[in-house]
Structure 1
Amino acid sequence: MSIPKTHPFDFDPTYGMQLDELLAVKPPEAPEGFDDFWRARYLKALAVDPQPVLRRSKIAHPDWHVLDLVYISTGSYRIGGWLILPRQGEVRRGLVVGHGYGGRDRPEFDLPVEETAVLFPCCRGLSLSARPPISENPSFHVLHDIDKPDSYIIGGCVDDIWLAVSTLTGLYPWLSGHIGYSGISFGGGIGAMAIAYDQRIDRGHLALPTFGDQPLRLTLPSVGSAQSVQEYHKKHPDVLGTLRLYDAASAASRIKVPMLTAVALFDPSVAPPGQFAVANAIPKFNEIFILDAGHFDYPGSVEQEAVLREKIGQFFRVP
């Protein structure tokens, strides 16, 4: 292991916890009405026709056909993104790929998948889906409508993932039951919530997932969007009611499909106890891959990422 020994933060991004302690972290108990809240939200999203519009992208790649994509999500929100299709072989699997809080400016072409239609949505308010008055700054985006549980921006972003799945099943009906999800950080957190209630997603990979154990998350010094929520909570303590409904660890305990979760021992942006709360909550079929650090460069990161990449390729391999 090569957990960073020096760093510029005025707190310890390991929070003084060893691996055995992190593996013992349990998810918080979900608030009353948690499942009803998410099931109703999912049914509302399922009723939306995404009406995808595709056009050839200016981005070109030797192995992939690249298409610019727009589809409709809940609240008539237009979501921008990309769809890439393999130049070789049939399309036998679908994959929705979420992004971190930095957004996304192009598709990823080095994913270790074949015969797969890969959809890269930009969640509402970010990158291709930016729209006033939502801020693209993660520290403000994460607070958008946080005082309104039903319309909090994070719920809309989960809707955007569900509508990405609807887009894939609409374009390629034979992919139903063969669609995966992969997301990192912000995309990992909303991915846990999306997978928990969408039976159309048959497996998922979450890396450095955020929004895990919200009550604990409020107490652990962090940088980025987590710090922003902590500062808001100090002035508005009742916001915990909203946050508990949007807890990735509570959602993860409802996941029933195979999962590959990558979590870090050191992370200044997404506190490791919150990441492990998500990973540990998944009831079965879950492989936990340990990274020395997340959201931070460290020696050995290239080698660890290469091993993880190989696992991801095996995990999403077409049967």
Structure 2
Amino acid sequence: MSTHPLTTDTGELSSLPHDFPFDPTHGYDLPRLMEVGAPQGPDDFADFWRERYASALRTDTAPRIEGPWTTVDGVRVADISYTSADGVRIGGWLTVPADGEVTQGCVSAHGYGGRAAPDPWQAPPRTATIWPCLRGLGTRSLLPGVPDKSAGHVLHGIGARESYLIGGCVADVWCAATALRLLVPEAAAGLTYLGTSFGGGIGALALPWDDRFRAAGLTVPTFGNHPLRVTLPCTGSGESVRTRLAEDPSVLDVLAYFDAATAARHLSIPVHVGAALFDPSVPPPGQFAVHNALAGPRELLVLRAGHFDHPGERAETAALEEAQRRFLTAADPAGPRPTA
């Protein structure tokens, strides 16, 4: 699979009026965005993550179906929970095709707004999908003492790489994969991943070390190229990090281990990326840094804007979701089926 942009009609960025005190493009056009690089990272970057992954695999996830199944639009839905690293119990949902035919699995991670329900239409056909609320977030995984808003959540434990909450969220993804394979053994034939914004960045950090995954779709991924990201004002979690960095420059040493673009250097499975030219919440250079650093087959759909209401947004979102469904369906070990 070759690298090629699948662009929508981006139009003129100047046609997106806004009242932010900064330019959400940060002065980058598409050619310049395609040149954004990724930090090399600490010498023990890969060792750090491989050790954490090995530890997560030793976790007894003890997944449970909680409550009755319901059926919506041809998909069966159930509340679930499982145990992740550090003994944290994670809540979420499981969706499976109503006809019971499952040929692959998917872990789907949410943005920093959390998740109140699954979005089963996003997953490819014949897919069993687990929709976890990552620790401290959503309606199902709130934790005492952990802020549930992005501004506080992204700083929790940031004083050391061992305590940084983002590492726990990555472990939640690995343990979700384990839980899914236990709940739906057919899903073990091949796993895919979907993640948006916060979930996109978490996915980039989680996937390089986990060979159970065959393909992924990352949309407007965050945590890309922290040294550049902390220089760019935004309305998202990055602004809290910028403020903290001004008070404590050592934070950047910790963030070096949680750079989604650095991790992408190690990610060799096929990845579809939806990245935005204009985004007040996640600076576009960081999003493109993740895409540009990917070590394996990749596909790019350039979005006009992310985290921002704009003309044509609904059609753009539909095109992105269809492109990612197609991309992940191609990873189905059962292969495509002819249409009737």
- SS of the residue corresponding to residue 176 of structure 1 reads helix
Cα deviation for residue 60 of structure 1 reads: 4.5
1:148 aligns with 2:160: yes
The number of aligned residues is 319
Cα deviation for residue 61 of structure 1 reads: 1.3
- SS of the residue corresponding to residue 237 of structure 1 reads coil
1:168 aligns with 2:180: yes
Q: Which amino acid aligns with 1:45?
A: A
1:21 aligns with 2:32: yes
**Following superposition of structure 1 onto structure 2, how do residues 1-319 of structure 1 map, counting pairs within 5 Å?**
1-2=10-11, 3=13, 4-57=15-68, 60-127=71-138, 128-317=140-329, 318=332, 319=335
Q: Contact between 2:234 and 2:280, CA under 8 Å: does it hold in 1?
A: yes
Distance 1:295 1:286 in 2: 23
Cα deviation for residue 109 of structure 1 reads: 2.8
Distance 1:193 1:52 in 2: 23
Cα deviation for residue 195 of structure 1 reads: 0.7
Cα deviation for residue 103 of structure 1 reads: 0.2
Per-residue CA deviation, residues 32-53 of structure 1 (Å, 9 max, x unaligned), is 2101100000000000010001
Q: Contact between 1:27 and 1:250, CA under 8 Å: does it hold in 2?
A: yes
RMSD: 1.3
Q: Which runs of 5+ in 1 are unaligned?
A: none
Distance 1:49 1:72 in 2: 7
Stretch moving more, 251-260 or 300-309? 300-309
Q: Which amino acid aligns with 1:204?
A: A
Deviating above 6 A after TM superposition, structure 1's stretches of 4 or more consecutive aligned residues are: none
- TM-score, structure 2 normalization: 0.91
Q: Which amino acid aligns with 2:18?
A: H
Distance 1:176 1:129 in 2: 25
Per-residue CA deviation, residues 164-213 of structure 1 (Å, 9 max, x unaligned), is 00011222334335100000000000000111111001100000000000
Cα deviation for residue 65 of structure 1 reads: 1.2
Per-residue CA deviation, residues 101-158 of structure 1 (Å, 9 max, x unaligned), is 0000001132252111010000000121001100101100100000021120000000
Q: Which amino acid aligns with 1:7?
A: H
Change (3 A) 1:172 1:270: same
Distance 2:307 2:171 in 1: 26
Q: Contact between 2:127 and 2:187, CA under 8 Å: does it hold in 1?
A: no
Change (3 A) 1:89 1:58: closer
Q: Which runs of 5+ in 2 are unaligned?
A: 1-9, 336-340
Q: Contact between 2:80 and 2:92, CA under 8 Å: does it hold in 1?
A: yes
Stretch moving more, 62-71 or 268-277? 62-71
Identity %: 44
Distance 1:215 1:238 in 2: 12
Cα deviation for residue 62 of structure 1 reads: 3.5
